[in-house]
């Protein structure tokens, strides 16, 4: 009979099922030797860092419900281990599992800065804000050692190119010097994701991300440096963290956030089973109720990928969540977006070194 996986310390997913493109399927199996109480908890899994030898760095999209048309992902996979991460299924394209592989097999792009400088220097490049952090977090633990994100910011600063960043990593404070310089020219804004104010819930839901307190401290540090910063209360998970929405927004406002947004839980592809497994492991008494409310907000399905609906859902529960958000935003004085858009008119490739003196 299949064995129920045990949670691993410091990891979000409990299992490592094969991705949807694989021909074989990995299933945990109880051979009868696993006596309850006799076996130690699963061994911790180390993170494996590998080079992503990509030849391009700017990803393009034309999705009508996404507010940007280009983005950069310094990393593939994310060690934060957030069980709800909608990017998990992307690891299947690498022949890896969206489960534990996603948070332990991290691919980084050491040539990101050089590739970005080359793409921005191409004749005819049209400048529009680049989004970073829309898929995996650019300030996950590996960034402390590798510095890929900082090298990207240095290029964007030198080219006077606007950037928007979403993160739940306090490591972004390391780059305040660059971001503050860019912010004075309206070239940078940041959104910090705050999912819960309860450390105990955060520990099992997003085990290697910054604690809620550190994220609020990060909002304050960015705001004090003059960097426009907002809060994203996302994802809201029915019957798990949704009751905290107003408290999260209030705490973020007090910390210095000026804009606010939210999304509802999204469970595409393999994420549906991973999240269900996680619920049954950590919140068995709530699992069926949570999934029922999720389905009620997607037309009876666990996930509806329709544009315009996938982010916030629909139906009575989703509508109520939206009304609560609207009321809290008005009460707290949040803006939905930054009042001053980022400036694209300053974009210019840096002058290339030349032995010839400039005429003027």
Q: Mind listing the domains of the chain with CATH numbers?
A: 123-332 (3.80.30.30)
- Residue among 150, 117, 188, 171 nearest 340 (CA): 188
Q: Which helix (H) or strand (E) holds 51?
A: strand 48-51
CB 151 within 8 A of CB 92: no
Tokens at 206, concatenated = 């997003």
Phi, psi of 212 (to 5 degrees): -55, -40
Residue 262, beta-bridge partner list: 233
**Sign of CA pseudo-dihedral 71, 73, 77, 79:** negative
Length of the chain: 360
Q: Which helix (H) or strand (E) holds 49?
A: strand 48-51
Q: What is the pLDDT of residue 64?
A: 77
Helical H runs in the chain? 100-104, 112-120, 142-146, 148-159, 176-183, 199-205, 212-224, 245-255, 271-282, 287-296, 316-332
Owner of token pair 């400048």 = 127
Give the CA distances from residue 108 to residues 65, 174, 241, 333, in Å, rounded to whole numbers and listed in that order: 28, 19, 32, 39
CB 193 within 8 A of CB 167: yes
pLDDT (tens, 9 = 90+) of the chain, 360 residues, equals 445 677 888 999 999 988 888 766 666 655 565 555 555 567 778 999 999 989 999 999 888 778 889 999 999 999 999 999 999 999 999 999 999 999 999 999 999 999 999 999 999 999 999 999 999 999 999 999 999 999 999 999 999 999 999 999 999 999 999 999 999 999 999 999 999 999 999 999 999 999 999 999 999 999 999 999 999 999 999 999 999 999 999 999 999 999 999 999 999 999 999 999 999 999 999 999 999 999 999 999 988 888 778 788 999 999 999 999 999 999 999 987 776 799 999 999 887 765 455 555
- Residue among 127, 130, 126, 147 nearest 138 (CA): 147
Q: What is the pLDDT of residue 178?
A: 98
Give CA 49 to chain center in angstroms. 19
- Residue among 281, 287, 270 nearest 3 (CA): 281
C-alpha–C-alpha distance, residues 49 and 7, integer Å: 22
């Amino acid at each position: 009979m299949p064995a129920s996986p045990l949670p691993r310390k410091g990891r979000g997913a409990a299992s490592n099922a094969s991705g949807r493109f694989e021909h074989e399927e990995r299933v945990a199996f109880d051979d009868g030797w696993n006596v309850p109480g006799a076996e130690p908890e699963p061994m911790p899994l180390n993170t494996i860092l590998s080079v992503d030898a990509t030849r391009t760095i700017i990803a393009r999209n034309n999705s009508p419900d996404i507010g940007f048309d280009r983005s950069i992902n310094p990393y593939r996979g994310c060690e934060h281990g957030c069980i709800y991460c909608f990017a998990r299924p992307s690891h299947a394209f690498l022949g890896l599992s969206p489960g534990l592989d996603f948070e332990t097999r991290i691919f980084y792009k050491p040539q990101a800065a050089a590739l970005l400088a080359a793409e921005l220097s191409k004749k005819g490049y049209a400048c529009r804000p680049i989004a970073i952090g829309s898929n995996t977090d650019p300030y996950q633990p590996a960034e402390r050692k590798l510095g890929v994100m900082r090298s990207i910011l240095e290029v964007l600063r030198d080219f006077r190119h606007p950037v928007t960043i979403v993160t739940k990593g306090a490591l972004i404070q390391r780059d305040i010097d660059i971001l503050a310089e860019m912010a004075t020219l309206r070239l940078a804004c940041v959104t910090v994701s705050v999912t819960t104010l309860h450390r105990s819930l955060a520990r099992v839901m997003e085990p290697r991300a910054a604690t809620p307190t550190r994220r609020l401290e990060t909002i304050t540090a960015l705001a004090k440096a003059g960097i426009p910063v907002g809060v994203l209360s996302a994802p809201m998970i029915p019957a798990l963290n949704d009751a905290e929405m107003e408290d999260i927004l209030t705490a973020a406002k007090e910390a210095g956030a000026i804009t606010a947004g939210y999304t509802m839980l999204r469970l595409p592809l393999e994420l549906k089973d991973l999240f269900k497994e996680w619920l049954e492991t950590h919140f068995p008494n709530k699992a069926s109720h949570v999934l029922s409310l999720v389905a009620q907000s997607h037309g009876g399905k666990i996930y509806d990928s329709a544009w315009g609906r996938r982010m916030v859902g629909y139906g009575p529960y989703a509508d109520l969540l939206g009304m609560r958000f609207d009321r809290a935003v008005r009460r707290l004085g949040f803006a939905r977006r930054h009042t001053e858009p980022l400036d694209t008119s300053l974009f210019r490739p840096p002058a290339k070194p030349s032995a010839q003196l400039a005429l003027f």
